[in-house]
Amino acid sequence: MADTATIHRPDEEDSELKRSITGRLLFFYTLGDVLGSGIYVLIGLVAAAVGGAFWIAFALGVTVAAITGAAYAELVTKYPRAAGASLYVNKAFGNRPLTFLITVSFLAASMAASGSLATGFASYFSELWAAPPALLVSLVFIAILVIVNFIGITESVVINMLMTFVEVAGLLIVLVIGIVHISRGDADFGVLTHIDTSGDYGSPALAVLAGIAFSFFAMTGFENTANVAEETIEPYKAFPRSLVGGMVVAGLVYVLVSMAAALTVPTDTLAESDAALLEVVKAGILPFSTELMSTLFSIIALVAITNTTLVTIVTQPRILYGMAREDVVPGVFAKIHPTRRSPWVGLLFSGIVVGLLLAIGTAVTASGGGIDLVGRLATVTVVLLLAIYALVIVSCLKLRGQDEHDEIFRANTPLLMLGLLGNLAILGFTVYDDPSSLVWCAGLLGVGVVLFLAEHFFGSRGTGDRTPEMKEV
């Protein structure tokens, strides 16, 4: 075995970020983000598109996502630094405009996801307390998570792990309900093979592809894990196991939960509900008060949404921080708070943009814009991330043979090619099915134009490595 003292590990010594995230925390960080609110909120849309066999869409979707996660794992072990996809594309192509486009695309996707999740949080919150306006609930929700992130990355990841246990408990409730229903002999297993071809898509293949497109929002989140690489202990060992392992576990849970829901509740009921898993609880199969269980499950759903949103809030300022050090965005985004050592400028900027996105989306909806804010922002997130995922896989293949050492994880090349085709197929269908999502994508990407012009005309190149760093205290 090679002497680890002599192995060349590019970029590791350049970072003075606080390495405090263990492999176990990283696993739950990945699992918690992938198992987030998507399964709680969007499962009804998937059931409507596919029919009783909608578990197939989740299985295929998480397979494509897991292959993409393997590309991320390989690149993280080469370049264990913040910035994720933006850093990898920058290393592969060395093109500042392209790198900036990826940076802004990822930020836009993350911010759209935060807005969608915050809106979903307000919807579930109204089930428990309908008094506060939904926009106010969403804004306060985002502000609280910004404060948690400001306190520190370790605290954020520990909170994430604790909330992961809660949201997994909610999914276990659904699984238990399914098991009880099956044990009573009431389940019709034929529903698990039924694909609806009477709807908008006409063929089983298109119906499943539509289901994958709708479900892919639930598959995202693993890419956020790469952005804490600079704060992970022994990233070369931790990332392949924690990232890919977390996705495999999440995929298994998704498939089992989907089957339990399909066997327990009629597909039409799931398809018509904005909170399909809550319909499983309302079926009254468990020997407990349905009202009590519904309230408990709503609280669990709120925790799940909070968990996913926390990770997106953690990610946004760290992308800006990492790329400020690469001289792609203005150096002000690398400013660190003197005591908390958090990237406070990027954090504040991200919170403001998400808040404005919520306010504008609410205004459009109130004026009769005819949009579902949760669904629209989820679609925008998927479109942007699928394009990024495809380019990350291309970057992974292009960087083969560069900056390699004995501890690098190497993804299977044929699988990467399959993952690339899968991402492009889902992206193409999503845009075809909802072309107006491109308008929203363009609007969010427009936020980055100001940053690009500011860095291009007023930035000082070569100053990135001299920016303040998050040192261990």
Burial 239-260 (b: 16+ CB within 10 A, else e): bbebbbbbbebbbebbebbbbb
Please give the pLDDT value at position 392: 94
3-state secondary structure of 110: helix
- Does 15 reside within a domain? no
3-state secondary structure of 232: strand
Please give the pLDDT value at position 192: 92
Please list the residues that pair with 399 across neighbouring strands: none
DSSP state of 21: B
- Does 34 reside within a domain? yes
Which region among 77-81, 271-275, 465-469 has the lowest average model confidence (pLDDT)?
465-469
Which region among 76-80, 117-121, 179-183, 321-325 has the lowest average model confidence (pLDDT)?
321-325
Please list the residues that pair with 21 across neighbouring strands: 232
First-to-last alpha carbon distance for the chain, in angstroms, is 34
Q: What is the 3-state secondary structure (H, E, C) of the chain?
A: CCCCCCCCCCCCCCCCCCCCECHHHHHHHHHHHHCCCHHHHCHHHHHHHHCCCCHHHHHHHHHHHHHHHHHHHHHHHHCCCCCCHHHHHHHHHCCHHHHHHHHHHHHHHHHHHHHHHHHHHHHHHHHHCCCCCHHHHHHHHHHHHHHHHHHCHHHHHHHHHHHHHHHHHHHHHHHHHHHHHHHCCCCCHHHHHCCCCCCCCCCHHHHHHHHHHHHHHHHCCHHHHHHHHHHECCHHHHHHHHHHHHHHHHHHHHHHHHHHHHHHCCHHHHHHCCCHHHHHHHCCCCCCCHHHHHHHHHHHHHHHHHHHHHHHHHHHHHHHHHHHHCCCCCHHHHCCCCCCCCCHHHHHHHHHHHHHHHHHHHHHHHCCCCCCHHHHHHHHHHHHHHHHHHHHHHHHHHCCCCCCCCCCCCCCHHHHHHHHHHHHHHHHHHHHHCCCHHHHHHHHHHHHHHHHHHHHHHCCCCCHHHCCCCCCC
- Does 172 reside within a domain? yes
Domain count, the chain: 1
**With 50 as the cut, is the pLDDT of residue 1 above it?**
no
Average pLDDT over residues 1-26: 54
Q: Tell me the residue range of the domain where 122 lies.
A: 23-456
Mean pLDDT across the chain, nearest whole number? Answer: 81
In the numeric block, the tokens 């985002």 are attached to 142
CA dihedral 398, 404, 410, 414 (to 10 degrees): 30
**With 70 as the cut, is the pLDDT of residue 65 above it?**
yes
In the numeric block, the tokens 């276990």 are attached to 172
pLDDT in tens, 129-183: 877 888 999 999 999 998 888 876 655 566 767 777 888 888 999 999 999 999 9
pLDDT in tens, 266-305: 998 888 877 788 889 988 888 888 888 888 988 988 888 8
439: CATH: 1.20.1740.10
Pick the closest to residue 153 from 422, 340, 382, 413 (CA basis). 340
- Does 180 reside within a domain? yes
pLDDT in tens, 342-393: 788 888 898 998 999 898 888 877 776 666 677 788 888 889 999 999 999 9
Q: CA–CA separation, 188 vs 264, rounded Å?
A: 9
pTM (two decimals): 0.80
In the numeric block, the tokens 């605290």 are attached to 155
